[in-house]
Every structure is written in structure tokens, then in C-alpha cells.
Amino acid sequence: MKSRDLALGMMSLLLTVTGCKSTRDWRNEADSHAEALIKDAQGKVTGQDEAIVVESAADTLRRRLMLDQNLPKKTEASLGIRDLQDTERWQTEKHLKDGAEYAERWNTKEQVKLTLLEAIEIAAKNNREFQQQKETLYQAALSLDLEAHSFQTTFRGMLNGSIQSSYGTRRNTGSVVGADGGFTRKFKNGVELTSMLSVDLAKMLTGDRGSSFGLTYDGSLSVPLLRGSGKFIVTEPLTQAERNLVYQVREFEQYKRRFVVSIANSYLGVLRSAQTVKNQEESYKRIVTTTRRSRRMADAGLMTEYQFDQAIQTELNARESWVSAQQGLTRSLEAFRVLLGLPPDADVMPVKEELDKLLTQLRTLSEGVVMADYSGEVPSADAPVELKMPDLKHSGPNEIRPEKALELAFENRPDFLNTMERVEDAQRAVLVAEDSLRAELTIGGNAAIGEGRGVMSGDQPDGKFRPKHGSYGALLNVNLPIERTAERNRYRNSLISLERAVRSFQAAEDQLKQDIHSKLRDMLENRERLVIQIQAVQLAQRRVRSTDMLLQAGRAELRDVLDAQSALTSAQNSLYSAAVSYRINELELQRDLGVLQVSADGLWKELDLTEYK
């Protein structure tokens, strides 16, 4: 009777446990495990943790713009996953958790003007590649969770039932309902333990309709002693999964830096294009004014007709440049909006004052610097000319010494650290491949206790659970290293992979040095260009004023005025281009050094490098 009670209890337990978790419960469990693993890996990499949200928001700026600005769309998927229509195959509420609410910050029915900080924040929430990078990090955590799960006690349960009918002297029909429950555990030293308890309820559906219970226990133990044994070998997949998650955290950290630089580059590029339009428009208007004046002077006999034709030709060229600049602005605006994850036709614009603010800050680099000094006593024309290379006397805060820059990069650049540690991965792979060449020696044992019941066993007495009458066995498995061709080749390939890993590290180190030196050179060159263009604009403005006055006085040619106006427009465009290039060089250097701090929400902060100058 005790066996029957135990069997009934086990079946009730399995029936109770089966199906107790909903889809959302399973999802929440996966989220909980992944978030904990990511948090731990972030602590190892950055010393702090931040939430990695892969759940789509309840509402987004993109969605608001699509609706409030009545932008064209093909289907509801253009708005977001939560706008997909529920069908018999898809229910949003079943599969998705509640997303973050949209924080109202702009009137999306009108033009949305963004600062650079706001643009990066928006891109962190809407840019599709940024979201994909977070998902890749999240999936690396799920992979690690699966590897860790292989060393946890795994419980399983199964219910089964069957009906069978056979014909001898008469037709007999019977049924059996079974329940299996057990666990499996693999230890980090390679030992594997399996245990299973099965309950059967057999019942005859014909004849005397008798019933019978069966109860059996099966267990096995496997202990490797040579090949495939030991914590180092057995846990290598888990170790690699842990390192892969750390690598992915580092990759995400460096990706965030590249992301900020790309947004800043696009943002300032739009403002530069808008300033180019403004410069070309002012140039166009100046040339039209000059053309009108030349017409009146030609009519008065003060200018030849060919000079007037020259003014007309210059005016046509100015119009072409003006229209081209407008189209360039439209292209850069659309690319900027798409980079933010917003529709290209949304009315979203950068704040134009940001470029003027940047130029004001960078003008300090030209204070006290004179590129062409002809004040005071000027040497004779045939006197020796001494040229001076640019120095760091008037350099910006990010123009630091190359050796200090490399020290920072070697210590902080996440993807470089990944390349370095992959050499260690390759070394471990060699040792694992070497282990597979050894002989295999495994000992173990198994036990089977109790009596099961089949479909036609309903007329038998209940099965007895008698350990003394159980079936027991021992295992000894020896696999001598006679045939190891596949293992031999894997071992040789692992050595080749190690060679490649070392070369990859060397290439990454050399490339890092080259990138740092290149960025420092670019900053120096762009600083010189910036200072030159600041002075060139001042000179060009004086030329325009003076040549215009001389033309009206009849002491200058029209060509001189047109050349001065062209030089002014070119210098103005070059000035803003140099300012943007220098600022982007600063951000790129901080990115390449690995010191630009960026959060998953798009908040960023530069490191003060003045102490490394």
C-alpha cells in the first residue's frame, strides 16, 4: 500500500507542477538571469552597471512624428511593434511587457529643434543599430546562462499514457498512465549523475478490469579519470561564454563611443551645410549687386561690355553654387534624421547656434597667433626664409603627447583589450585540444530498483520496490589513444589559431598606434587650418571692402572685386569646415583612447586631458 500511496503522490505532484508557468513567467525568468549576468560583466569591465533595455518603448519620438506630422507610411509596422494588429497568431499583450512611456519634450506638430546632447539621447532610443548592439549584448548573456545551466541540477518530469488492444483466444484491451520524474547533474570535474523515478498505473479495460501500480527507480553515475576530466577541461565552454560576455560588454562600450562621434559628425555636418547655404546666399546677393552696378557703369561708358559679361557669368556660377548647397543641406538633413532613427521627412532640425558657439570656443586657439606677420621692419626679398613648424604652444586641450596617448589607449581601449585576451583564449584551446589526444578512462555504475507495469499488466499485483532485489552494475570504459586522427588535426589547427591570434593582436596594436598618431597629426593640421581661415576671412573681408571702393572710384578692375568676393565665400566655408573637423578630431581621439564616457541612454562626458599635454 505504501508503494501505491507513493505512486499516487508523485503523479499528483507532476500534474500540479506541469504548466504552472505562463509565457510571461518564462520571459521574466530569462530577463532576470540575463540582467544579472550583464550587471556582473559590466562590473568587471567598467566598475559600474547600467540597465540594458531591449524592450521596445510604449511610445517613441519617431511614432509621434509619424502621427503628428502626418508622414506617409505603408503599414502599422512603421509606427512600432506595439501597433501591430492582434490576430489569432499574434497577441501583443501576451508576448510584450509594458514599455517605457514617452516623455513629452517637444511639440511634434511643429518643427523639432535639437541640441547635440538631445540628438544623441534621441538616437540612443531610436537608432536601430544601437538597439541591435544592445540586443547582441543581451543574447551573449543568454548564451552564458545556457552554458551555466549545464552545470546546474536539471529536473524533468513527463506524463504519458497509451491504450493497446490484442487478440488471442479473446480480445484484451488495456491502458497505462505513467509519470516520470528525475534530475540530472553534471559537476565541474566531469562527474555526471542521473536519477529517475517512474510510476505506472496499468488497467485492464476488458475481462476482470483489474488495475496495478508499478514503481521503478533508475540511476547512473559516470566519472571520467583521464581525457575529458578536470575542472579546466570540463568548464572550458562555460569559461569561454563568460569571457564572450565580457568581450561583448567591452565591444558595446567602444561602440557607444563610435556612436556618439558619428552622431556629432552628422549633427555638425548639417550645421556646416546650413552655414554653407547661408554663405552662398550672401555671396549670390553680393554678386547680383555687383552685376547691377557694373551694368550701370557699362551704360555710362565707365566699363567695357566684356567686363559686364564676366559679372553675368560669375552671377550664374554663384546661383549654381547656391542651389547645390541647398540640395546638399537637404541630403545631410535626411541622413541625420535617419541616423537618429527618425523618418527622413520628419521636420527635425539641429539648433543653428551650436555651430556659432563652437566657433567662438575655437577662436581662442588663434589668439596671439599671426601666420603672416609683415608689421615692423620687413626683411629684404632676397633674405633667407626661415619656416617654423606648428608647435603645441597654442594647442587645444586634447593635443597631448603621443606617448601619453598610447598609455591611455593601451589601458582603456576595450576592443584592444579583447584582442589581447583572445590570445589567452587560443592558448586554452590548445590545452583542451591536447587533452583530447589522451586515453579515455571512465568508471561508473548504475542501479535499477522496482517493478514497472505495462498496458497488459493490469491483472498483476502491484509492483514491489525492493532494493535487495534491484539490478546493479559497474562500468569501466577504456579508450586507448590509438585512433586520434580527428583529434590530432584539431590540436594542430589550435596551434595555427594561436599563431593567428598573436598576429591579430600585433596588428591591433600597430593599428592603434597608427590611429592615435594620425588623430594627433590631424588635430594639429586642422588647428593650423582653423587659424589660417580665421585670418583669411578677416583678410578677405578687407579685400571685398577695398576693391569695391576702388571699383567705384575707377581704380580697380571688376575682376578684382569678383575675385575678392569669391575668396571671402571660400574662406567662410573653409572656416566652418575647419572648426567642425577640429571638433570631430577631438571626439575621435577621445574615442580611440577609450576615455569618452557614454551611457546606454546617450549621456556622454569627455575626459580632461590637459594633464597629459
CA–CA separation, 206 and 125 (whole Å): 68
What tens digit of pLDDT does each residue of 203-218 get? 888 877 888 888 899 9
Kindly state the cell numbers that stand for 17: 507542477
Q: Of 17-31, 78-92, 313-327, 375-389, which one has max mean pLDDT?
A: 313-327
Average pLDDT (584-601) is: 95
Confidence of residue 409 (pLDDT cuts 50, 70, 90): very high
Average pLDDT (268-273) is: 97
Would you say residue 272 has pLDDT above 80?
A: yes
Find where cell 571520467 sits.
224
Would you say residue 607 has pLDDT above 80?
A: yes
Kindly state the cell numbers that stand for 168: 488471442
Would you say residue 15 has pLDDT above 70?
A: no
Find where cell 596671439 sits.
368
pLDDT at 1: 41
Output the average pLDDT for the chain: 90
Q: Which residue has the higher pLDDT, 367 or 424?
A: 424
Q: Are strands 112-114 and 348-350 parallel, antiparallel or unpaired?
A: parallel
Report the SS3 class of residue 328: helix
- pLDDT-wise least confident of 102-116, 247-261, 366-380: 366-380
Kindly state the cell numbers that stand for 78: 512603421
Nearest alpha-carbon partner for 519 in 595, 576, 418, 415: 595
Would you say residue 44 has pLDDT above 60?
A: yes
Taking a C-beta distance cutoff of 8 angstroms, is the pair 523, 585 a contact? Answer: yes
* Angle in degrees, 0-180, between the axes of helices 402-412 and 558-593, rounded to the nearest 10: 50
Q: Which amino acid is at 185?
A: R
pLDDT at 206: 83
What tens digit of pLDDT does each residue of 496-546 get? 999 999 999 999 999 999 999 999 999 999 999 999 999 999 999 999 999
Q: Where are the domains of the chain?
A: 2-115, 154-237+439-485
Q: Which residue has the higher pLDDT, 529 or 160?
A: 529
Average pLDDT (225-250) is: 95
φ, ψ of residue 193 in degrees (nearest 5): -125, 130
Percent of the chain at pLDDT > 90 equals: 65
- pLDDT-wise least confident of 33-37, 370-374, 445-449, 491-495: 370-374
Q: Which amino acid is at 444?
A: G
Confidence of residue 375 (pLDDT cuts 50, 70, 90): confident
3-state secondary structure 370-431: CCCCCCCCCCCCCCCCCCCCCCCCCCCCCCCCHHHHHHHHHHHCHHHHHHHHHHHHHHHHHH
**pTM of this structure:** 0.88
Average pLDDT (251-278) is: 97
- pLDDT-wise least confident of 14-23, 69-78, 128-137, 275-284: 14-23
pLDDT at 493: 97
Nearest alpha-carbon partner for 591 in 118, 261, 368: 261
Find where cell 590611429 sits.
515
Average pLDDT (290-300) is: 88
pLDDT at 19: 52
**Virtual torsion, Cα 244, 245, 249, 251, nearest 10 deg:** 20
**DSSP assignments along 257-286, one per residue:** HHHHHHHHHHHHHHHHHHHHHHHHHHHHHH
